[in-house]
Amino acid sequence: MKTTAIQVTNLTKQFKTDVALAGISFQVQAGEVFGLLGPSGAGKTTTIKILTGQLAPTNGLAEVLGQPVTNLTEKSYAQIGIVTHQSGLYDRLTVNQNLNYFAQLYQLKPARVTTVLKHVGLEADRNKRASKLSQGMRQRLILARAILHQPKVLFLDEPTSGLDPMTTQAIHGLIRDLQAHGTAILLTTHNMAEATALCDQVALLNNGHFAELGTPQALRLKYNRQIAFNIQLKMQPTAITLTAGPQTTAKINHWLTEQTLLSIHSCEPTLEDVFLTVTGRNLQ
């Protein structure tokens, strides 16, 4: 039976007259990736800051590993990892020195640094100064630092923003591996394709409210207003789209019999389409 790593109930945050969060509620279980999705200013980073003890909530309940976020201890932080845009590196130090510094703080053996560097693909660059790393390599080093102490909960705030596809794919692989080992992950992003690929549950956050909450597939099916299929046939340069019905069924059966059907895909909306439908606004 999975344990609840993050518990949030009716969480609100107000800055003077500005309501950043307006009573959101959700849970994240061990070994689960929970996506907090929305455009800039929706309240994603505010949520992470509250859950990591950097901001006090105005009202509501928020707990991480059974501990109220207003009372997180040194022991609590030893089980939490954080990757944000403000996660800095010591640029004058090498990759190895950056991680060794934190390994000493966590009282970890040097072998753990080597293991993590292999895991994030930076072992060959361990003697390179952080200032000489590419943006993608820096992001992998920040992630390496966040998972160095094998946290039970990991907060990832836009971890692949601005990265090239190859680095993004590598980080996605790391996230899946951490999930498989039981880490609870809260991921914020405005990239709906990323959320669809990685998340067990997603919350569509808009102006401090949850517009929707559920699995990516359940939300896409819920807002699939017209069932249709994208079909590619032999000897036809472009695909065709047909809506579901008896005539379409007959055509598909005929193409299958004649072996002229190359591919068929259902046409559910993307999470971005769903977000636009329920909020009336784009993600950017």
Residue 284 has a pLDDT of 61
**Phi, psi (degrees; rounded to nearest 5) at 165:** -60, -35
Query: How much is the average pLDDT of 86-99?
Result: 91
Residue 168 has a pLDDT of 87
- List the domain boundaries for the chain: 4-221, 225-267
Q: Is the pLDDT of residue 86 over 80?
A: no
Query: CB neighbours of 169 closer than 8 A, spacing ≥ 6?
Result: none
**Rounded to an integer, what distance in angstroms lies between the CA atom of residue 153 and that of residue 179?**
10
Give, in words, the CATH class of 4-221. Answer: alpha beta
Tell me the residue ranges of DSSP E strands in the chain: 4-15, 18-29, 33-37, 59-64, 67-68, 80-83, 153-157, 184-189, 201-206, 209-214, 228-233, 240-243, 261-266
Residue 283 has a pLDDT of 63
pLDDT tens track for 67-76: 999 999 888 9
pLDDT tens track for 195-222: 999 999 999 999 899 999 999 999 999 9
Query: CB neighbours of 197 closer than 8 A, spacing ≥ 6?
Result: 172
Residue 226 has a pLDDT of 81
pLDDT tens track for 142-180: 999 999 999 999 999 988 888 888 888 888 998 999 999
Q: Is the pLDDT of residue 133 over 90?
A: yes
Query: What length is written for the chain?
Result: 284
> pLDDT tier at 251 (50, 70, 90 boundaries)?
confident
Query: CB neighbours of 20 closer than 8 A, spacing ≥ 6?
Result: 13, 14, 43, 46, 208
Residue 112 corresponds to which tokens in the numbers above? 């753990």
Question: What is the model's pTM?
Answer: 0.87
Which range is least confidently modeled, 55-64, 131-140, 273-282?
273-282
**Rounded to an integer, what distance in angstroms lies between the CA atom of residue 64 and that of residue 87?**
20
Q: How far is CA 138 from the centre of its chain?
A: 18
pLDDT tens track for 29-38: 999 999 999 8
> pLDDT tier at 87 (50, 70, 90 boundaries)?
confident
Q: Is the pLDDT of residue 184 over 70?
A: yes
Q: Is the pLDDT of residue 84 over 80?
A: yes
Q: Which of 154, 131, 128, 127 is nearest to 143 (CA)?
A: 154
